[in-house]
Amino acid sequence: MKADVLLGLQWGDEGKGKIVDVLTPKYDVITRFQGGPNAGHSLEFNQIKHVLHTIPSGVFHDGQVNIIGNGVVIDPVIFKKETESIAKLGVNLIPKLFISRKAHLILPSHRILDAASEAAKGITKIGSTLKGIGPTYMDKTGRNGLRVGDILSADFLDKYNHLKKKHIDLLRLYDFVYNIEEQEAQWFAGIEELRRYTIVDSEFEINHFLSAGKKVLAEGAQGTMLDIDFGSYPFVTSSNTISAGACTGLGIAPTRIGEVFGVFKAYCTRVGSGPFPTELLDETGERLRQKGHEFGATTGRPRRCGWLDLVALKYSIMINGVTQLFMTKADVLSEFEYIKVCTGYNVNGHITERLPYDLNEVDSAEYFEFKGWDKDLTQVDNKEDIPDNLNKYIQFIEKETGLPITIVSLGPDRKQILYR
Ligand code: GDP
Ligand code: IMO
Ligand code: MG
């Protein structure tokens, strides 16, 4: 078998968690391959609303194994809170959650470094979620990191103190007040929680599952425009959010990747700083934010809203090798008199469909305008009931991208889904 990858094509929050939850019954293994608690993946079912940060979005079904892969960074404090809130819903995670020995740990001092670095940047700050993501991946590539496997070694405390001291030395560079000790008791309690789970060499596990004919779904976090190499650098996260990240974040070869499912919102959002060519700073943007409840699942920050950007979408499709598109939140666009789609960028007086080196070079966006539809879509469960104008919108995107939109999501609940 090959592993299918599901990932975001925009700036995150495309609705990945919801779709993974919907697709889980078709799979045997659900696995996260990068990012950490900067992610907030919302699931809704049976009147329950739940946000996952580190744990794969397959845990609310029975019969699947969920794996936190080597490419993920784990904050034990947040992990413990997550497991406790899942336990309250009556789910026993112990038999269904495995954690890679090679996943890196976010220390309290990583979080402090993230905050100190952002504070020092002032108005040029990235708008990080302040979860310590950047500093943890820096220690990983700098070969200083602490990994899940280390918690089983006799000298774990020495390793922890060694890295903490390095961070204290670094923090001298900043004019920043902090207190590491007040966060440490919770952190070590989180380490104890981690020890309760099955810690695995996940690359062996996943390859073995594939060889045994099991179906594996790799769940991405963030989105392609936040990728460390191909996103709107430097306003990005610190991992490879793209399909290639599933190979390095799980230890599977490119030849073992099957479908690449690209999830995109019917419009665009971004949270945090950085260029956003189709951003709407007017009432229409505010209307999208209110109708779409566009407030961050991790930080609660209002998300910036704008029209769908086909230039960026096509770029993401190219980088990921997307084979099928899934569109979410089309229901939010109901009742808009018109809907726009960006088909080109104006850069230095020329219209281009090529993403520039620096997205700040985009002076304005070129749009194609569609007539809206009045119908409430949240109860639609048959493709014959899709309004004509929405069909035109869908078909336009399919023609432009050359890919089929095989799933349309029409509400936050597990049941609000349409297969085409
Ligand atoms: P993720 O990070 O990609 O998993 O997405 P988030 O959970 O951060 O943000 C998506 C938000 O939209 C959540 O509040 C979801 O409950 C909600 N959502 C997902 N799909 C749909 C949809 O089709 N329609 C509507 N109205 N909301 C949706
Ligand atoms: P999910 O998986 C949306 C954004 C932050 C910031 C930038 C860097 O829920 O789609 P970081 O904390 O990673 O150093 O922040 O990336 N960001 C996200 N935006 N959804 C996410 O995850 C995000 N994870 C990080 O807002 O702009
Ligand atoms: Mg999210």
pTM of the predicted model as reported, rounded to 2 decimal places: 0.98
Report yes or no: 395 and 7 within 8 Å, Cβ to Cβ. Answer: no
Report yes or no: 3 and 210 within 8 Å, Cβ to Cβ. Answer: yes
Q: What is the pLDDT of residue 297?
A: 79
Mean pLDDT of all residues belonging to the chain:
97
Residue 237 CB–ligand 2 contact under 6 Å: yes
Q: What is the pLDDT of residue 314?
A: 98
Query: 222-268, pLDDT tens digit by residue?
Result: 999 999 999 999 999 999 999 999 999 999 999 999 999 999 999 99
Q: Is 50 a catalytic residue?
A: no
Instruction: State whether residue 258 is helix, strand or coil.
Output: strand
DSSP at 359: G
Q: Is 41 a catalytic residue?
A: yes
Q: 161: which 2 tokens?
A: 């103190």
Asked whether the CA dihedral 146, 148, 152, 157 is positive or negative, the reply is positive
Residue nearest to atom 6 of ligand 1 (CA): 13
* Centre of ligand 2 from the C-alpha of residue 128, in Å: 7
Residue 139 CB–ligand 1 contact under 6 Å: no
Q: How confident is the model at residue 298 (pLDDT cuts 50, 70, 90)?
A: confident
Q: How confident is the model at residue 300 (pLDDT cuts 50, 70, 90)?
A: confident
Query: 127-137, pLDDT tens digit by residue?
Result: 999 999 999 99
Closest to 382 measured CA to CA, from 420, 327, 340, 352: 420
Q: Is the pLDDT of residue 299 over 90?
A: no
Instruction: State whether residue 115 is helix, strand or coil.
Output: helix
Q: What is the pLDDT of residue 333?
A: 97
Q: Is the pLDDT of residue 305 over 90?
A: yes
Which helix H or strand E contains 134, and what residues bound it? helix 133-141
DSSP percent split of the chain into helix, strand, coil, nearest 5: 35, 25, 40
Question: Which residues, including other chains, have CB under 8 Å from residue 418's CB and lie 6 or more apart?
Answer: 380, 381, 382, 383, 386, 407, 408, 409, 410
Residue 298 CB–ligand 1 contact under 6 Å: no
Q: Is the pLDDT of residue 404 over 90?
A: yes
Query: 178-200, pLDDT tens digit by residue?
Result: 999 999 999 999 999 999 999 99
Residue 202 CB–ligand 1 contact under 6 Å: no
Which one of the listed residues 21, 28, 41, 309 is annotated catalytic?
41
